[in-house]
């Protein structure tokens, strides 16, 4: 099996439908229309629980893969430029926790395939201390086992603990930054999304941004700045004032890029302050039914892959 990395889900899904790929790992949000139409066939969910958006699709755990290391999740997390005052971070996190309890938000997000989390920055710290050695080892091996169609797109390790990479500023006490100005927020906030409109990260960002604006009584403008696996947006946000008016939705490629490429232009650990993990996004394993007509579950997919050696 050969790994091919893409700049986004849209071109990957189109090549899967067109027959250039046999299978891929993707979000349910983007693949469900093609699964429903029969253009793609889903064979499993990589999380531990079934998804409401695809309730009949079994998990890989149900299909015999019980090792937690293979429980693959995408995710959406909110961050801010390093040095944002703790008072602002705490206020944002408090609002996000309340947003996650909103029945209408739950209905929209769960229906789109997301799993609300709203984990605290402190939780990031614990994950960071536990899992960073694992990620350093994996990234050190990337050149030995990865084939990347697009060299600018970073490899994607497959455990939700990658969120911990954003937590390192906490190890230093989250020091620095001016005190929050009186009456924050007193003007519009920007929520930068490092991917195109319509994708999973954008969808989650707009749901959260709308509710966050209502609670803060200020407009939250969602600004899409795609490119270079999120690095373009990350560089811009990292250089923004640490005043709480510029936020960013972070995802796995954006956090890992500086650990994989010397010219990413930013340092994940030093340049961002974590606010909260917003959602988990279980991944769906999908295949081209024309190319793999006999693949109906994980067992038959593995058998097919072994037969190709």
Is the domain covering 74-142+185-280 a CATH 3.40.190 domain?
yes
Residue 197 has pLDDT above 80, yes or no: yes
Overall average pLDDT of the 55-81 stretch: 85
Q: What is the pLDDT of residue 135?
A: 54
Q: What pLDDT, on a 0 to 100 scale, did the predictor assign at position 7?
A: 65
Q: What is residue 95's predicted lDDT score, i.e. its pLDDT?
A: 95
Query: How much is the pLDDT for 126?
Result: 60
* H runs (alpha helix) in the chain: 9-18, 28-37, 86-101, 103-111, 121-140, 142-145, 168-171, 200-216, 231-238, 252-260, 268-271, 298-307
> How many whole angstroms separate alpha carbon 43 and alpha carbon 305?
14
pLDDT band at 27 (very low <50, low <70, confident <90, very high): confident
Q: Do the domains spanning 1-73+282-308 and 74-142+185-280 agree at the CATH topology level?
A: yes
pLDDT above 70 for 108:
yes
145 Cα distance to chain centroid: 23
**How far apart (Å, rounded) are the C-alpha atoms in residues 232 and 237?**
9
Candidate ranges 109-123, 198-212, 244-258; pick with highest mean pLDDT: 198-212
Please state, in angstroms and rounded to a whole number, the distance separating the CA atoms of residues 93 and 99.
10
Higher pLDDT, 143 or 45: 45
* pLDDT class of 259 with cuts at 50, 70, 90: low
Question: Which pLDDT value is given to residue 248?
Answer: 96
Query: Are 229 and 7 contacting, i.e. CB atoms less than 8 angstroms apart?
Result: yes
- CA-based R_g, the chain, Å: 19
CATH architecture of 1-73+282-308: 3-Layer(aba) Sandwich (3.40)
Q: What is the DSSP string of 117-176?
A: EEE-HHHHHHHHHHHHHHHHHHHHTHHHH---SSTTSPP----GGGGGGGGHHHHTTT--
- The tally of CA atoms less than 13 A away on the side-chain side of residue 79 is 38
Residue 151 confidence (pLDDT) above 50: no
- Over 90: is that where the pLDDT of 57 sits? yes
Q: Which residue has the higher pLDDT, 60 or 229?
A: 60
Which pLDDT band, with edges at 50, 70 and 90, does 159 fall under?
A: very low
pLDDT band at 128 (very low <50, low <70, confident <90, very high): low
Tokens standing for residue 62: 């149900």
Which is it for strands 246-250 and 73-81: parallel, antiparallel or unpaired? antiparallel
pLDDT of residue 141: 54
CA dihedral 302, 304, 308, 309 (to 10 degrees): 30
Pick from 285, 282, 297, 261: which is nearest to 139 by CA? 261
Domain residues of the chain, as ranges? 1-73+282-308, 74-142+185-280
Give 175 or 59, the one with higher predicted confidence.
59
**Geometric angle at alpha carbon 214, from 78 and 226, rounded to 5°:** 40
> What percent of the chain lies above the pLDDT cut of 70?
77
Query: Residue 245: which pLDDT band, with cuts at 50, 70 and 90?
Result: very high
Q: How far is the C-alpha of 66 from the C-alpha of 71, rounded, in Å?
A: 8
């Amino acid at each position: 099996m050969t790994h091919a990395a893409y700049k986004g889900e849209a071109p990957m899904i189109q090549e899967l439908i067109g027959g250039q790929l046999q299978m891929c790992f993707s979000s349910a949000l983007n693949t469900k229309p093609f699964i429903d139409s029969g253009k793609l066939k889903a064979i499993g969910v990589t999380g531990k629980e079934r998804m409401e958006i695809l309730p009949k699709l079994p998990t890989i755990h149900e299909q015999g893969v019980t090792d937690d290391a293979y429980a693959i999740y995408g995710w959406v997390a909110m961050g801010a430029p390093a040095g944002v005052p703790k008072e602002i971070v705490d206020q944002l996190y408090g609002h996000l926790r309340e947003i996650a309890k909103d029945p209408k938000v739950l209905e929209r997000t769960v229906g789109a395939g997301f799993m609300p989390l709203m984990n605290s920055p402190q939780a990031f710290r614990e994950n960071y201390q536990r899992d960073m050695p694992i990620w350093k080892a994996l990234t050190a091996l990337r050149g030995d086992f990865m084939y990347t169609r697009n060299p600018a797109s970073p490899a994607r390790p497959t455990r939700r603990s990658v969120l911990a990479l954003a937590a390192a500023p906490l190890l230093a006490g989250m020091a620095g930054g001016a005190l929050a100005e009186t009456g924050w927020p007193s003007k519009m906030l920007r929520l930068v999304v490092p991917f195109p409109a319509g994708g999973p990260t954008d969808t989650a960002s707009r749901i959260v941004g709308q509710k966050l604006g209502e609670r803060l009584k200020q407009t939250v403008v969602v600004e899409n700045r795609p490119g270079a696996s999120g690095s373009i947006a990350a560089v811009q946000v990292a250089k923004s004032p640490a005043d709480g008016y510029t936020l960013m939705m972070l995802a796995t490629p954006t956090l890992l890029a500086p650990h994989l490429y010397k010219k990413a232009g930013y340092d994940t650990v030093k340049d961002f302050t974590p606010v909260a993990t917003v959602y988990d996004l279980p991944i769906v394993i999908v295949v081209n039914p024309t190319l793999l007509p006999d693949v109906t579950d994980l067992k038959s997919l593995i058998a097919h892959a072994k037969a190709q050696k």
